Amino acid sequence: MSSPEDKTEIGDVKAILEELEAELATEEKAVAKPRRFKSWSPELPTPDPKPAGPVERAIIQAPLIQTVTSVEDDGGIRIKAQVSRDGMECTLMVNRTILGDAAWWFPTPDLGEGSPLPEAIFAVEGVLSLLVDDSTLVLSRSRGALSSWEEIATEVGARVREMLGAGDSLFSEAIQEGIPTAEEVSAGIQHVLDTEVNPGVAAHEGLITLERVRNNSVYIQMGGGCQGCSAADLTLKQGIHGAFRSAIPGLGGIYDETDHAAGVNPYYS
């Protein structure tokens, strides 16, 4: 039983309920979308994408002067031998100049014919190639050589001492006359780098540069993808050496001054 007053009240309640439902629906929508409190939202500074830290320095190389391998000079002929870390070569350091201040490369025994010192050295069993550079002799030995480096170096040292003591000419005139000038070597190497070597290693983001020339010997740097590359030694010895030597007859030593441990972008790491 309801009075008109009650009806009115019921109608009001219904109206109030409808209003509340409508408000609730509006609020639910508002909850679904995050509210923006523009008026009191704090204005934070844009975070620095890279936090400030110590500046990363480029590691550069200074020319390494070999002071540990100096040979004492007590008046006699003294020869020290040093086997390379990989065991492939042995360097004999003599306290006498052997080929002036120049260098000559004998890749095979037959190319030493006519020169007394190389002939004597190649007569030692196991010696495969010889680089004479100023007062050093760099030997390589044949694969499967039965003699140890100590045996080979001792025998070569005895022959060098004997020939130096005799005071006779050590090299043929053809070699003495065939040594190219530093200018010829520099121009020739740069041409080979520009036209053959660097276009080839560019595919691996590598770059070979001529650092300096000492008489007829050259010092190079391997940069970019070549620096620290596990194939750098192979590239140098089988590719670059061959290109250089075929372009410049009489080229002396080829030395790599790259610090491969400092490479940051090696191609084959």
Partner 1 sequence: MARIDRLEIRIQTGSQGSDSEVKFQFNGHTLPFDNPSGGTGAGEVFEGAFDLMSVAHAVALNGPESGEWAIDKIAVTYHPSMGDPWDLCWGPVLLDATNAVNLWAEAPTPTFDV
If binding is defined by CB under 8 A, does position 89 make contact with partner 1?
no
β-strands 217-224, 206-214 pairing: antiparallel
If binding is defined by CB under 8 A, does position 65 make contact with partner 1?
yes
Among 62, 146, 174, 203, binds partner 1 (CB under 8 A): 62
- How big is the site for partner 1, counted in residues (CB under 8 A)? 34
- 3-class SS of residue 266: coil
**202 vs 144: CA distance, rounded Å:** 37
Q: Which is nearer to partner 1, 80 or 241 (CB)?
A: 80
Among 37, 67, 168, 177, binds partner 1 (CB under 8 A): 67
If binding is defined by CB under 8 A, does position 119 make contact with partner 1?
no
Whole-angstrom CA distances from 255 to 61, 117, 133, 172, 217 are 15, 23, 11, 25, 8
Written as six digits, the tokens of 59 are 């590691």
If binding is defined by CB under 8 A, does position 80 make contact with partner 1?
yes
Contacting range for partner 1; rule: CB under 8 A; set: 20-28, 156-164, 168-176, 245-253: 156-164
If binding is defined by CB under 8 A, does position 233 make contact with partner 1?
no
Written as six digits, the tokens of 194 are 């520009």
Written as six digits, the tokens of 100 are 């002036």
Binding mask 190-229 for partner 1 (x = CB under 8 A): ----------------------------------------
DSSP H or E run through 192 = helix 182-192
Q: Which is nearer to partner 1, 46 or 67 (CB)?
A: 67
Q: Which is nearer to partner 1, 131 or 192 (CB)?
A: 131
Spatial CA neighbour of 103 closest among 170, 175, 167, 189 = 175
Contacting range for partner 1; rule: CB under 8 A; set: 58-66, 183-191, 200-208, 246-254: 58-66
Q: Which is nearer to partner 1, 17 or 158 (CB)?
A: 158
If binding is defined by CB under 8 A, does position 154 make contact with partner 1?
yes
**37 vs 150: CA distance, rounded Å:** 85
If binding is defined by CB under 8 A, does position 75 make contact with partner 1?
no
**238 vs 201: CA distance, rounded Å:** 13
Q: How far is the CB of 80 from partner 1 (least distance, A)?
A: 5
| CB 106, CB 130: distance < 8 Å | yes
Instruction: Order the strands of the 254-256 sheet from edge to edge.
Output: 206-214, 217-224, 254-256
Binding site for partner 1 (CB under 8 A): 54-55, 57-69, 78-85, 92-93, 150, 153-154, 156-158, 259, 261-262
